[in-house]
Structure 1
Amino acid sequence: MKKLPYVFLVLLLAVAAIVACSRTQKTDKTTSAQLRTHKEAVDTLRGSEEAQAAQPAQPLEIIPENNSEVLASNDLSALFHRTEEYDEPAVYNGFYGTDHYRIEMYFASVTKDAIHPNVYHIEGKSRYKRNITPFHGEIVLEEAVQFRDPNISEANMKEMEIKNTYMTHGTFKLQEDSTFTGSGVFSGKVAIDFATKTNNGIRQWYFSETKEGAQGAGFIFDGKWVSYKTGKSKPITWARDIFMIADGILKDFSIGERDVEINPKYRKLGWDNFWENDEWWNENPSAKL
């Protein structure tokens, strides 16, 4: 097995490069750009491909714990902002509508409610095609489930200064400004995976295959958008690391294993400018058709 310092140097480099590579790199639209997801970090923690083949992934061990205490004692708002391992603006990509066109969600502010520790207030903006629309709303967390991943060694957990790992589940409702053309309400289910650290801090957790949780994507918002004007709805899904779940939404969306590429056939669905860091969230919001 590789020495731990080397393992975690690779791990940190992989995590730091996830979105930085994808948003700062400009590429000819006729070619494929390299993207990096958390898959390399996951594979590094679990050892070589040969080791993984010899020892298939084991199911997570669920550990009973006081859910209300976990939600009360941890402020998860930090998971939606710039962090040490995710030094990027809080802009998240996803799929919208039956054609799964790209949508971007920007969280300008996420704050924990002073009275209800399971409630988080959100303000931000959405961008779909050329429309930028402000929204506000809430996340209401319903449970926190502690788990242990037997596929990650205790030595690696100690090296990462991880105390416990959790899956959280709840609901969200984000209301767009009704004065904007084509506005509506986003609502549905949210899953968030996080870890507490030995120094009492928290961090996003990407490194376990939590099929009942965020599936290695950090967090997932999954639900629908309903138009104020027509009442019609459209499906929507977005995540912190969308490439961890994208292939389950659009077949072969990403090509490759560790260094992945967006399949050229899906560029027309809004992914042709994925590498352009235009900071649209800093613009004065206006409805543009």
Structure 2
Amino acid sequence: MNGQELTDENKIDSYLKYNFSDLWLQTDEQFVYGIIGEEYEKISIKIISVSKNLSQPNEYYVYGKSMVEANVCEFVGKISITKIQEAKNQRFGVDDEYKGKTDKQGFLTAEYEFYENNKQSHSGVFKGQLQTKWYLTDSAMKYNDLDSVSDGYFNNAFVGIWKMYNSKLEKICHWGDYRVPNVDCDFDIGTAEFNVDAEKYSGKGWLDVILKNRMPHGGEVIQNKSDEPVKHWWE
């Protein structure tokens, strides 16, 4: 991920004592982009809480919500870490800003299963593989965003499928932080940041992203002018 070279050895046993929960809770929802189906319809995913299974330290219980168009479903499930690799050469951001502030950097691979509430409409199960970049500092596991200002940066790549309950209907479903992983090269046309082709994808739920990238400095499409707090779709 992001071209960082890794060691071959799986060091999962050395790292299970650490808590990785926060790595999947760091990124603002507006920068988590996802697709569902071969036509790359937009799906929004919000992971709301993550807790470590103390009896199985490679497992994490997850609660969150998904949204396609106006259809919102809650889900529960787990992330199971299967591999942890260390980076051969650490990166320290622009002009080595973070040099000396990390002990180790690396990459984890996991399997995930998230089950939507079967009492809600158009519900099913998400399954696939997750890859996450991390760094260790002062015996604490941190989300690796040290290179987040670089073009093409992304993290927390979820790559898999969504399958509807009691049906043969199955769709590809990928999402990630700042970019969508494993998609056709002509889908993400952004250089410095994620963007999609307006003519091809505006009708697939991506109009907000298209408009945002057309505004100066990536400004908000709609500003809240009232004193009332904005209610997010997952609340």
TM-score when scaled to structure 1? Answer: 0.64
Q: Show the counterpart of 2:189.
A: 255
The 5 Å alignment of 1:77-88 reads 77-82=21-26, 86=27, 88=28
SS in 2 for 1:73: coil
Q: 1:128 aligns with which of 59, 68, 89?
A: 68
Contact 1:100/1:250, CA 8 A, preserved across alignment: no
Q: 110-119 or 72-81, which moves further after superposition?
A: 72-81
SS of structure 2 residue aligned to 1:268? helix
Q: Which residue of 2 aligns with 1:162?
A: 102
> Runs of 5+ in structure 1 lacking a partner?
1-41, 43-56, 209-214, 283-289
Deviations 1:68-109 (A, max 9, x none): 121x22211111224xxx5x3597321101111110111111
- CA shift, 1:114, in A, is 1.4
Partner of 1:32: none
1:267-282 to 2 correspondence within 5 Å?
267-274=202-209, 275=212, 279-282=232-235
Superposition pairs of residues 87-236 of structure 1, within 5 angstroms: 88-89=28-29, 92-149=32-89, 156=96, 159=99, 161-197=101-137, 199-206=138-145, 216-236=153-173
Alignment deviations for residues 202-224 of structure 1 (CA, whole Å, 9 cap, x no partner): 3222568xxxxxx9421111111
Q: Does 1:73 align with 2:17?
A: yes
- Separation of aligned partners in 2, 1:235 and 1:201: 34
Amino acid at match of 2:12: N
Q: Secondary structure, in 3 states, of the residue corresponding to 1:136?
A: strand
> Any idea what SS the aligned residue of 2:118 has?
coil
Q: Structure 2 stretches of 5 or more lacking a match?
A: 213-220, 223-230
Equivalent pairs: percent with the same residue? Answer: 19
Greater share of residues in helix: 1
- Equivalent position SS for 1:78: helix
Quote how far apart the aligned CAs of 1:142 are. 0.7
Contact 2:130 2:159 in 1 (8 A): yes
Q: Offset at 1:160?
A: 6.2
Question: Residue 31 of structure 2 contacts residue 178 of structure 2 at CA under 8 Å; is this kept in 1?
Answer: no
The 8 Å contact of residues 61 and 150 in structure 1, kept in 2 or not, is answered as no
Deviation at residue 147 of structure 1 after TM alignment = 1.5
2:78 counterpart letter in structure 1:
E
Q: Kindly tell me the number of residue pairs found equivalent between the two proteins.
A: 210
How far does residue 176 in structure 1 lie from its aligned partner after superposition? 0.5
Question: Kindly tell me: are residues 143 and 184 of structure 1, through their superposed partners in 2, closer, same or farther at Cα, counting changes over 3 Å?
Answer: same
User: Contact between 1:125 and 1:135, CA under 8 Å: does it hold in 2?
Assistant: yes
2:60 match: secondary structure: strand
Task: Provide the aligned C-alpha RMSD in A.
Answer: 2.9
Q: 2:179 aligns with which of 229, 234, 242?
A: 242
> What TM-score comes out, normalization by structure 2 length?
0.77
What amino acid maps onto 2:13 in structure 1? Answer: S
The answer as to whether partners of 1:146 and 1:167 remain within 8 angstroms in 2 is yes
